[in-house]
A and B are shown apart, each in its own frame.
Chain A
């Protein structure tokens, strides 16, 4: 195997880049900012390539399915045809062209808006079924949930300002306390993963090898 493909080389590159970024993040070193800026720009270019990899990956999955008329071949056709159509128009005419804009605003927007609005129906149905005072725990959940709904209901807030005060308290005290705990836990976990990566103990990012 070529040396540049070896796991050790990739780990050394990771270590050097991570140390440069870490040091320039915490300390003001002359010229360090410029080096970090170049590395970040490099990262940006690499991640832009990931977009192309994503498109190729989609074709790799859907084209064979379409060729052999496999399960849900028609959805594979829609995916491939949409990518080709959108990409061709944007490349040939430019993404600012009225046809590109009209296609986006008349197809993507209504479809994604419709999918997004489905949640309203599911939430209503779920609230009806789940918010039942079966025991003390579910009674607390029901009470808090109802108060938060009322807090987010402008008319309830306008008629009974107390709902606003209660909602503010729920957001500012229990919600903040609980969520900050979760966020701090995630941050500590990220530090641990970062350290493992720096020390070469975390190898998942290298060609998917554990």
Chain B
């Protein structure tokens, strides 16, 4: 068997070993490779940057452990950006698993002096799936009358004049599953509310058809998150991971080329026989 034929029959353990190095090296020693800003991320940034003072943002957190490393950077960056703007933020969680991540995010951002109950509210996990979203749109108090800490919503100054979707100016939805379409059905289609989506890279293909009309901006995976971190001038966990993205993707391209060279020579030899 020639060396070219061998290229097409490599043991998977070879790629796995190479992949470990491609992931580990940039994390141990960051390479600082450039990250160009894409339009869907820039649109999301510009929309938040231009929100008028006093706007109300509904932040839906549907991110759990497994996908945190993919979208966590985007969640922290957008939350940080929102906290730096003169807007009010209502946070809720679609999944029970997302609760610790909301608190992790709130503990890891600069709140710019925003006060709980006056500038932001955390509603906690709201059960009920899409029916809950529909209820939230018609009346937040029909779904929950208290925040995550048990304080009645009517006792929170910020919530006095906020009860339904008409009081909301923007929805930011972070997810790792496939529930975005429920948000489109309950918030965007009937009320025309703008939605910014933060999702894993593999979901971008699926949700891109909704951009820019239904989803006004998409922050996809580690790369989108890193772009957002750069836009707000706060490099974080996603910026560190983008080097890994470059090295692993280049490895995959090299593997594809090697596989095709091997296949080409094997086919040539087989035809010769």
Contacts and interface: CB of A to CB of B under 8 A. Distances in A.
Is chain B a partner of chain A in the same complex? yes
Contacts of B69: 113, 116-117
B206 interface: yes
Interface of B is mostly: helix
A66 interface: no
A176 B201 CA distance: 16
A175 B128 CA distance: 32
Nearest to B97: A108
Contacts of A111: 65
Interface residues of A, number: 60
Interface string A131-160: 111100000001001100110111111100
B258 A128 contact: yes
Interface stretch (B42-50, B112-120, B138-146, B154-162): B138-146
Contacts of A145: 256
B209 A179 contact: yes
Nearest to B148: A96
Most interface-central of B64, B209, B248, B264 (chain A CB within 10 A): B209
A60 interface: no
Contact of B138 (A40, A51, A123, A158): A40
B272 interface: no
A179 B208 contact: yes
A94 B248 CA distance: 41
Contacts of A41: 135, 142-143
Contact of A48 (B128, B242, B255): B128
A10 interface: no
A133 B256 CA distance: 10
Chain B: number of interface residues, binned into ranges = 35 or more
A127 interface: yes
A127 B256 contact: yes
Contacts of A154: 33-36, 223, 226, 242, 245-246
A74 interface: no
A175 B65 contact: no
A131 B259 contact: yes
A152 B201 contact: yes
B252 A124 contact: yes
Given A112-B66, A113-B69, A155-B246, A124 B251 contact: yes
A38 interface: yes
Interface in B176-210: 190, 201, 204-206, 208-209
Interface stretch (B12-20, B53-61, B73-81, B83-91): B12-20
A75 interface: no
Interface in A161-181: 161, 164, 168, 171-172, 175-176, 179-180
B263 interface: yes
24 contacts: A37-B138, A40-B131, A40-B132, A40-B134, A43-B128, A43-B135, A44-B126, A47-B129, A47-B131, A101-B103, A105-B100, A105-B104, A113-B66, A115-B66, A116-B69, A120-B248, A121-B15, A124-B251, A131-B260, A133-B263, A152-B245, A155-B250, A164-B36, A171-B205
Interface of B: 8, 10, 12, 15-16, 19, 23, 33-36, 38-39, 64-70, 97, 99-100, 103-104, 126-129, 131-132, 134-135, 138-139, 142-143, 190, 201, 204-206, 208-209, 223, 226, 242, 245-246, 248-253, 255-256, 258-260, 263-264
